[in-house]
Structure 1
Amino acid sequence: MQVQNEVKPYDTINVTPMLDLAYVLLVVFILMTTASVQGLNISMPKPSNKPSVEKHELVIVQITPEGRLLMNGASVSEDELEQGLLQAKARDAQMSVAIKGDARSQYAHVVAVVDLCNKLQVNMGLVTARIGN
């Protein structure tokens, strides 16, 4: 009786360990790139329990879908808006501007109004609406 121990060579390569290594490297790469992304530092205002007794002028600037500007409901050009904001600031240095941009309007029109408020150094806020309202 003769026992033959024939060793067969492998004809396929097992790729499972290579795939495991590739997945681990992919996860490490994703974690490292997201960890290195820096965010904006924003100092949020602190809420006050005291009701505000000061009354300051509020100017509402609306941007229509067509890009027209409305200041307190009246249609104005950019130059007229700037003059109106300067006059309001002269009356009340602590005045505020509420910017209401329509969702269908171009973002550049809203940014132009924000830039104007920054240039004039007036307080401003963006008015948002809840989804579904």
Structure 2
Amino acid sequence: MKLQEENAAYDEINVTPMLDLAYVLLIVFILMTTAAVQGITVNLPKASDTPSLAKPQTKAITITADGTIFLDTIPVSMELLESTLQQYKAVNPALPVVIKGDAAVQYEKVVGVLALLAKLDITQIGLVTQNLTK
């Protein structure tokens, strides 16, 4: 009777070795494809050894609460502001200017600076504000 049990047909197939082989093949495939795809080869430009000495192009006009006008960090009068901006405008026709006015400054001062910029035909103007959501 024991001899008959040894020769009996299997009812189930053991799939564990096949799954192990499939996982190994999957890992090998993933490793080989990621190693083979390195990206597109391009000839990159070389950076200059000398640092850029160009000054920022944008000029900042600040009007404090007491009405003092600053060009970047230098206090100026309206006449000096006009002549200095004319010089900058001669060098860079598309001169961008930002205006930072204090919240307590008289509106007349800001309008005067805007009128001066319009007189000099400076059209790239930005008004700096503070974000209300904190």
Question: Normalising to structure 2: TM-score of the pair?
Answer: 0.55
| Map 1:1-133 → 2, pairs under 5 A | 57-122=57-122, 123-131=124-132
Tell me how far 1:94 sits from its aligned partner: 0.8
**3-state secondary structure, aligned to 1:84:** helix
2-structure distance, mates of 1:56, 1:64: 22
8 Å contact 1:56–1:96 — kept in the other structure?
A: no
Change (3 A) 1:80 1:104: same
Report how many aligned residue pairs link the two structures. 79
Equivalent AA in structure 2 for residue 82 of structure 1: E
Identity %: 38
Render the CA deviation track for 1:11-43: whole Å, top value 9, x for unaligned: xxxxxxxxxxxxxxxxxxxxxxxxxxxxxxxxx
Render the CA deviation track for 1:39-83: whole Å, top value 9, x for unaligned: xxxxxxxxxxxxxxxx97211000000001000110000000001
**Structure 2, unpaired ranges of 5+:** 1-54
Tell me how far 1:115 sits from its aligned partner: 0.5
Equivalent AA in structure 2 for residue 125 of structure 1: G
Question: Which of the pair has more CA radius of gyration?
Answer: 2
2-structure distance, mates of 1:90, 1:110: 23
8 Å contact 1:98–1:124 — kept in the other structure?
A: yes
4+ residue stretches of structure 1 with deviation over 6 A?
Answer: none
Equivalent AA in structure 2 for residue 104 of structure 1: A
1-structure distance, mates of 2:101, 2:62: 6
1-structure distance, mates of 2:95, 2:82: 14
**3-state secondary structure, aligned to 1:81:** helix
CA RMSD of aligned residues (A): 1.8
8 Å contact 1:56–1:95 — kept in the other structure?
A: no
